[in-house]
A and B are shown apart, each in its own frame.
Chain A
Amino acid sequence: MRVRTGLALGTVGALVATLAACSSDDGSKDAQDTGTRTITVAYQKTASFHQLDDLLQKVKPEFEKANPGVTVKLEPIEAEEDQYYTKLALMNGSKSTAPDVIYEDTFQVMSDAAAGYLLPIDDYVKKWSDWDQFQDAAKQAGLGVDGKTYGVSMGTDTRGIYFNKDIFTKAGLPTDWQPKTWDDILAAARTVKAKVPGVTPLNIYAGKAGGEQTTMQGFEMLDYGTGDGKGLHDGDKWLTGSQGFVDSLSFYKTVYSEKLGPSLDVALDASVGSKVATELFPKGKLAIGIDGSWQPGGWISGDNKWPGWEKAMGYAAMPTQTGQAPGTTSMSGGWLLSVGAHTKHPQTAFDFVSTALNKDNSLTYDTTNSQIAVRKDVAADPAYLSYNPSFKFFSGLVATTHFRPATPDYSQISSNIQVAVESVATGQASPEDAAKKYDEELEKIVGKDAVSAAG
């Protein structure tokens, strides 16, 4: 019996090994960019984010017509941000399912490049005449740790404060509001709470399920406005024991314990971003929201069109904690189109990227999705400048903006920030304890040598 069991186990082991060996045959190196071929494009689509889908639906027939033999298979992943990354990572996990063209967040690019999911496209961009049109910062955003280019920027963004002027008028607050400190924001929120019942005074993203929006539109908008604005990372070290980190969490504690924020069932839901954009703001249910510059895109056109947005919405820059220099802060990110490492048709995939992001298409995307243009020719185009009255304001925030730490560990660290924020917002941990736990997890992820105590 024992022998048989051993034998059986051995057989299974061998079987698994054989199958695994079969699968590791790497067919991807023999690139084939002529004849009949299909490229898969994986991207995100949600109730409030349809612009990319619109663009790609338009590019697909054009590209297929211009390149006989090519079929473009659009693979929209209908999920909010966090689940989008998971799904993408699951697809990238296997050569057979890895997409050829990937809609990739700039913060994921280093990590996914390191994982071997993305193809370096330096050779291809060199031959692309439009590449000169891209601003240096945008080229930078597509770099991996090895300094190679892994994606073409679709546009960038900034973050600031939106507020509803109608609610502000009812609350007796100025409609040209510009808070100077965090306390000014809280004070305005308290006023709204006292004077305009039935309205959520302030939204700052707090949920783990919200993913990167909680880190970037939420926590980092605070953290990078504390102290000297170093935020999470300085030089090549991650910061631990940062007072700014604790203070940022304390801001959350104030917002959620005083019930200035949305109720937790809304705040912690994965779809809170869509809800804010398509419901809370348009229906006048939210007074102040810290959010991204792209928001008006969904109000100008599409299923959730909101014609009154221009009149109702006011904008303000995010102040630093106590109003210390430079007075305001912002965060910038953006998305790329990348080519998957396992593509069998690298040239075709890249051609699709360059078509999707040529001048006309970039212009369409940057306007409809309220992106800050990164192509010089688009940025200077009158059609771009006149499209959306909020462009001017949000472009202005670039002066004091920050970028997220560019390291392959960032995405994992960001998840831990979300854990810290949610635990404070729900009252499960004090800001100090949550910050301490973050420090411990951080050290586990990057190692002792890569952290240093904040000054």
Chain B
Amino acid sequence: MTTLDTTSVTPAASPSSGAGSRARHRGAGMPTVASPRRSTGRFLASLALVLVGLSFLVPLAWILLSSVDPAATVSVGVPSSVTADNFKAVFTKDQTFLPLWNSLVISLGTALITVVVGVLAAYPLSRYRMRFQRGFLYTILFATCLPITAIMVPVYSLFVKLSLLDSTPGVILFLSASSLPMAIWMLKNFMDSVPVSLEEAAWVDGASSMRALGRIVLPLMRPGLAVVLMLVFTQAWGNFFVPFILTTSAEKQPAAVAIYQFFGTYGSIAYGKLAAFSILYSVPVLVLYLLTQRLSGGANALAGGMKG
């Protein structure tokens, strides 16, 4: 899921928000007049939210509780004693650290390539009017929506032909290409909201457009860059199906695949270890998400970022 939800994040907002100019946030629409009906409403709303929150919490709590439970089962429950054994057991190079390292290499590689290539592509699209611009942007938008993971079968066949199977760069390039349409679209929108007038001064001073991009535009769209980096990194980090099909040797497999194998082999026996491994694997992206939120300011940063 991660791949595609995030892939499609951009157009969600951008088409309706026309280059982000309307992305002003109203004061969250807080009630201005207090009334008895309002407070009943508030109470019911809170109750409903508590219920929804609980149903989202329970599966997550299972992971947390099982990871410290010496006798974890598939059912959520307060462990009779708390242990760190599950974590100790998965704290091995082959089991955990190598796959996490591979995930890091793949995700970081994908995020950097996507953002660099995306920024380069977004710049002319944002700053110039070119003959093929409309066509290109429509194509990008179209590609953003395609269910790419649904075609892993032909991707596998193609990778066989290109001799790219079991190659980390191959996985990185494929993941970059599949997140690129989203990234270009988002970056273009972020870039559109940086006023051109600032660059013009630089142009007058004789700076090249690439210099203007690097010195003036990019620093001004740092929050946007952070959001795109975070999204691409997160989707690459969480992607299972792509490396599952495209990597074969154990030492190149990212955590998603390693954890799946662990589940297939020992899953029915070792839920505690599975949960511990899951936490080690999830924490980096959760932390990254929080950081990005901080960095871009405001609780609603991600949504805001999507709005361009």
Chains A and B touch each other in the complex, with CB atoms below 8 Å apart: yes
* A→B interface (CB under 8 Å): 1, 4, 16, 19-20, 22-23, 40, 45-47, 75-80, 83, 87, 90-91, 93-97, 269-271, 274-275, 278-279
Residues of A within 8 A of B195 (CB): none
Given the known A-B contacts A20-B162, A93-B165, A94-B163, are A274 and B268 also in contact in the complex, defined by CB atoms under 8 Å? yes
Interface of chain B, helix or strand or loop or mixed? helix
Query: Shortest CB–CB separation between residue B268 and chain A, in angstroms?
Result: 5
Q: Are B162 and A279 in contact (CB under 8 A)?
A: no
Residues of B within 8 A of A78 (CB): 250, 261-262, 264-265
In the complex the two chains form, what is the Cα distance from A46 to B268 in whole Å? 12
Q: Are A23 and B161 in contact (CB under 8 A)?
A: yes
Q: Is B174 an interface residue (CB 8 A)?
A: no
In the complex the two chains form, what is the Cα distance from A47 to B132 in whole Å? 57
Name 6 interchain pairs, CB-CB below 8 A, sorted by A: A46-B265, A75-B249, A77-B250, A94-B166, A97-B248, A274-B265
Q: Are B160 and A93 in contact (CB under 8 A)?
A: yes
In the complex the two chains form, what is the Cα distance from A75 to B248 in whole Å? 9
Residues of A within 8 A of B304 (CB): none
Q: Is B267 an interface residue (CB 8 A)?
A: yes
Residues of A within 8 A of B156 (CB): 90, 93
In the complex the two chains form, what is the Cα distance from A94 to B157 in whole Å? 9
Q: Are B165 and A97 in contact (CB under 8 A)?
A: yes
Q: Are A79 and B245 in contact (CB under 8 A)?
A: no
Partner of A275, one of B165, B167, B268: B268
Within 8 A of A (CB), among B152-207: 156, 158-163, 165-167
Given contacts A76-B250, A97-B248, A274-B269, 7 further A-B contacts (CB under 8 A): A40-B249, A79-B261, A80-B265, A91-B166, A91-B248, A94-B163, A269-B268
The 6 closest A-B pairs by CB, nearest first: A23-B163, A94-B165, A97-B166, A20-B161, A91-B248, A94-B160
Q: Is B53 an interface residue (CB 8 A)?
A: no
Residues of A within 8 A of B160 (CB): 93-94
In the complex the two chains form, what is the Cα distance from A271 to B260 in whole Å? 13
In the complex the two chains form, what is the Cα distance from A156 to B61 in whole Å? 47
Q: Is B43 an interface residue (CB 8 A)?
A: no
Given the known A-B contacts A76-B250, A90-B156, are A1 and B132 also in contact in the complex, defined by CB atoms under 8 Å? yes
Residues of A within 8 A of B265 (CB): 45-47, 78-80, 271, 274
Partner of A1, one of B135, B262, B264: B135
Q: Are B250 and A270 in contact (CB under 8 A)?
A: no
Q: Are A80 and B163 in contact (CB under 8 A)?
A: no
Q: Are A271 and B267 in contact (CB under 8 A)?
A: yes
Residues of A within 8 A of B165 (CB): 90-91, 93-94, 96-97
Residues of B within 8 A of A271 (CB): 264-265, 267-268
Residues of B within 8 A of A20 (CB): 161-162
**Which A residue's beta carbon lies closest to that of B250?**
A75
In the complex the two chains form, what is the Cα distance from A269 to B269 in whole Å? 13
Q: Is B241 an interface residue (CB 8 A)?
A: no
